[in-house]
Amino acid sequence: MRLNKLLIFIIITIIAFSGCEESKDESDDGGITITENIRFPDGAPQLFSLTDEDFIDATYDIYLFEVFDPTDPDASSSYPFVSKIGLNTAAAVTGISMTGSDFLSAVRPDSGYNFDDSSNYVIGSSWYGQYDGVTHYMAGDSTIYFIFTAQNEWVKMEVLKASTSFFIQYAIDSGDGNYSATDTVEIPFNQTDHIAPGDIGTMSEPTFFSFSNGQINTPEAWHIGFGNLLNFSVELQSLTYVPTALINFDLEVEVAVITGETFEEIIDVPANAHWWTTESDIKKLWSCAGDGVANLEECANAVLIYDFPTYNSHFMQVLNPDGIYLIRIDNNVYKIKLEEDSYSSSNDGQLIWFMYEKII
C-alpha cells in the first residue's frame, strides 16, 4: 500500500510542552485555513471538504457488511456469505485484535496496531465462533478488539453474535486507562441478494457506526484531513501519536504532486501531471523520522517533519515547501499547499495551516 515511499503526506510526532512558540491568530484568514487542535488526547482529527469549503463535524469508526464468497474459509457450503466489520482507514481509524482474555480484564497493548487494506481487515470475520442452528446466529469467538477512533478515543470492543444484525459490546477509555460502562448495541446491516448475489466478492451496502456518539451514521464527504497515526516508540517504550495528512480515497478522488511552480503560478492543471487514484497508490505511512533513523536525508520525501534531530525544539519544518498537491474531484481540481507555519503550541495544541484554491 505504498507508492515506492515517494508520495508521503506525513507529519512527525508532536509532544508539546512549555517553551514552544507562541500561538498565531486563528482569525487570520489571508487565504490560509487553520485546523483546530488535532493532538492526542485533547484534540480530534480535522476532516475538510474542498467542495463545501468547511470541516465536517463527525465521521464513522466502523462499517458492517456482508459479502458473498464461497471460497472464504468462514463461509459454509449451505450459506456462502460472510459477515464482516471494517475500520474507517481513510480517517486513520486503527485497531488490533487480542485473544486469550475476557472483555472486562483485557488490557490495551502498546504495539501491533494496523489499518485495513483492500484484502486484509483488522476485524473482518476474525470474530467468527460457532454457528447455532437453532437461533441461526453466529456466535463471537471472544476476540477482543482495541480501536483508536476517528475522534481520538480508545475503544474496547467484542462481537457477541451476528445474523442480520451485529450485536457488539464496547466501552470507551475515559482517558486514564479506566473505561466507561459497557454498552451493548444491535447494529443491523443490509444483506446481499441471497438468491443471485452475482460475482464472488459481491458486498452488501454497509452500515456505518460511530463509537463516540453510539449511533449509526451516514458518512459525510471530506477530501483532505489531518489526524493521528499510532507508532510504537522503542525509545519511549510506548505508543506515540503521529499527526499526519490524510486523503479520503473512499471517494473517487485523484491526486497529483507538482514541483517547480509556486502556489500562485498554478492556474491550470499541468499537462504532465501524473494522477494517482487509489489507496494502493498513496497511503498513510509511519513516521520516517522515528526510531532508527540515522540522519535527516532519510526523510527527504516527507512533507512536514520535526526539526530533527533537535527534538526539544518542537519546530515543524517543510522539507519540500515547493510541493503543491492537486486533488481532482469529479470535474473539479483544487490546489493545496501545506504551510511552513504549521506548529505545535502548549496552549493551542497541534494546529495545521494550509492553503487551497479551486482552479477548475
Q: What is the mean pLDDT of residues 274-290?
A: 56
- Integer Cα distance of 183 and 169 in angstroms: 5
For residue 201, the model assigns a pLDDT of: 86
For residue 38, the model assigns a pLDDT of: 85
For residue 319, the model assigns a pLDDT of: 55
Q: Which residue has the higher pLDDT, 217 or 245?
A: 217
Q: Which residue has the higher pLDDT, 280 or 234?
A: 234
Instruction: Tell me if residue 204 falls in helix, strand or coil.
Output: coil
For residue 340, the model assigns a pLDDT of: 64
Q: What is the mean pLDDT of residues 99-105?
A: 94
Q: What is the mean pLDDT of residues 316-341?
A: 78
Q: Which residue has the higher pLDDT, 114 or 193?
A: 114
Q: 225 pLDDT band (50/70/90 cuts)? A: confident
Does residue 353 have a pLDDT over 80? Answer: yes
Question: Are the C-beta atoms of residues 69 and 80 closer than 8 Å to each other?
Answer: yes
Q: 346 pLDDT band (50/70/90 cuts)? A: low
For residue 286, the model assigns a pLDDT of: 35
Give the cell for residue 252. 473517487
Does residue 134 have a pLDDT over 70? Answer: yes
pTM of the model: 0.82
User: Residue 34: what residue type?
Assistant: I
**Closest C-alpha to 152, from 235, 70, 46, 284:** 46
- Pick left, alpha or beta for residue 260 (phi over 0 → left; psi -120 to 50 → alpha; otherwise beta): left
For residue 165, the model assigns a pLDDT of: 93
For residue 117, the model assigns a pLDDT of: 82
For residue 185, the model assigns a pLDDT of: 97
Taking only the tens place, the pLDDT of each residue in 6-16 is: 333 332 222 22
Does residue 360 have a pLDDT over 70? Answer: yes
Does residue 213 have a pLDDT over 80? Answer: yes
Q: Which residue has the higher pLDDT, 65 or 343?
A: 65
Taking only the tens place, the pLDDT of each residue in 157-166 is: 999 999 889 9
Q: What is the mean pLDDT of residues 91-95?
A: 92
**Closest C-alpha to 338, from 360, 319, 314:** 319
CA distances to 114, 146, 215 from 168, rounded to whole Å, are 21, 13, 13
Q: What is the mean pLDDT of residues 334-350?
A: 74
- Pick left, alpha or beta for residue 320 (phi over 0 → left; psi -120 to 50 → alpha; otherwise beta): beta
Cα-based angle 244, 266, 253 (whole degrees, multiple of 5): 50
For residue 274, the model assigns a pLDDT of: 83
For residue 180, the model assigns a pLDDT of: 92
Does residue 307 have a pLDDT over 70? Answer: no
Does residue 305 have a pLDDT over 80? Answer: no
Q: 341 pLDDT band (50/70/90 cuts)? A: low
Q: What is the mean pLDDT of residues 328-336?
A: 93
Question: Are the C-beta atoms of residues 153 and 211 closer than 8 Å to each other?
Answer: yes
Q: 325 pLDDT band (50/70/90 cuts)? A: confident
Instruction: Tell me if residue 311 falls in helix, strand or coil.
Output: helix
For residue 299, give the DSSP letter: G
Does residue 22 have a pLDDT over 70? Answer: no
Does residue 256 have a pLDDT over 60? Answer: yes
- The per-residue pLDDT of the chain, averaged, comes to 79
